[in-house]
Amino acid sequence: MIQWQDSGIVLSVRPHGENGGIVSLLTASHGRAAGYVYGATSTKTRGVLEIGNLVSATWQARAHDQLGSYALELEKSYAADVISDAVRLTALQSACALADKTLPEHEAHPAIFNGTLALMESFQGELWDASYIFWEIGLLKELGFGLDLTRCVATGAVEDLIYVSPKSGCAVSAPAGEIYKERLLALPPFLRGEARFEEEDILNGLKLTGHFLLNRVFSLANSNLPEPRLRLEEKYVKRQKA
């Protein structure tokens, strides 16, 4: 029998059988890992299995290539902290869905695990939405698609960076990008070190990271961004129109 113990963040739960469920966790040392949970539909266990919760997990199976089963104990309910705020709850669900859909199974990604915990904690503060965009940038980097927002890809300038090339993922300065600005992505001020967090800037940040997540990650599998991620951006679009 193979067994390990770890802390994990609940990424997804799929019903299986009469009262069981297949649970995907982002763990500290074992990466994204799935396991069967008996009694997943019971009232007590449903509270443990809320998306975004931090749990203590014991996984066991007869062989490494088997699904295995989980015994889980709740460590912290991040979902309960944001249940009354629809936008924060959607952001929590979006981060979990993105991690679940993009990270390879059983491959440790401690930076993403720790970054996701930090993101969950940030939902209690006022700058959580900027933290969310930084989290997506970190995910892209972890997947091998890092963005270079530090200097202009055309001139090497480090000042007046207001655009991002949708092809290279590199910053572009205002003078260099002027004639191509209709084809470039906006670089929000907070991503170039300025203390500005307007809702328009958050929306531009979501459009920026969403573009690269879609075109560099999800399009490779002929799929769209996860539904919670689409809903999150749409909420900010509606706010701008209101």
Give per-residue pLDDT as tens, 130-151.
Answer: 999 999 999 999 999 999 999 9
Which pLDDT value is given to residue 64?
Answer: 76
- d(CA 190, CA 201) in angstroms, rounded, equals 8
Average of pLDDT values for 230-235? 97
**What is the band of 195 on the pLDDT scale with cuts at 50, 70, 90?**
confident
Q: What is the pLDDT of residues 7-28, one digit of tens each?
A: 999 999 999 888 899 999 999 9
Taking only the tens place, the pLDDT of each residue in 41-54 is 888 898 999 999 99
What's the pLDDT at 66?
83
Q: Which two tokens stand for residue 190?
A: 């907070």
Q: Which residues, including other chains, have CB under 8 Å from residue 234's CB and lie 6 or more apart?
A: none
Residue 62: per-residue pLDDT: 86
Instruction: Give the end-to-end CA distance of the chain in Å, rounded to a whole number.
Output: 57
Q: What per-residue confidence (pLDDT) applies to 44?
A: 83
The set of residues, in sequence order, having a beta carbon less than 8 Å from that of 59 and lying 6+ positions away, is 3, 4, 5, 6, 30, 33, 35, 68, 69, 70
Give 108-132 pLDDT, tens digit per residue.
999 999 999 999 999 999 999 999 9
- Average pLDDT on 87-112 reads 97
Closest by CA to 42, choosing from 16, 20, 13, is: 20
Q: Cβ(9)–Cβ(18) under 8 Å?
A: no
Q: What is the DSSP letter of 105?
A: B
Quick one: which of 127, 165, 7, 120 has its CA closest to 72?
Answer: 7
pLDDT at position 240 is 83
Q: Which domains occur in the chain, in start order?
A: 2-80 (2.40.50.140), 126-241 (no CATH)
pLDDT band at 99 (very low <50, low <70, confident <90, very high): very high
Q: 166 or 64, which is more confident?
A: 166
Query: What is the distance between the alpha carbons of residues 149 and 90, in angstroms, rounded to a whole number?
Result: 27
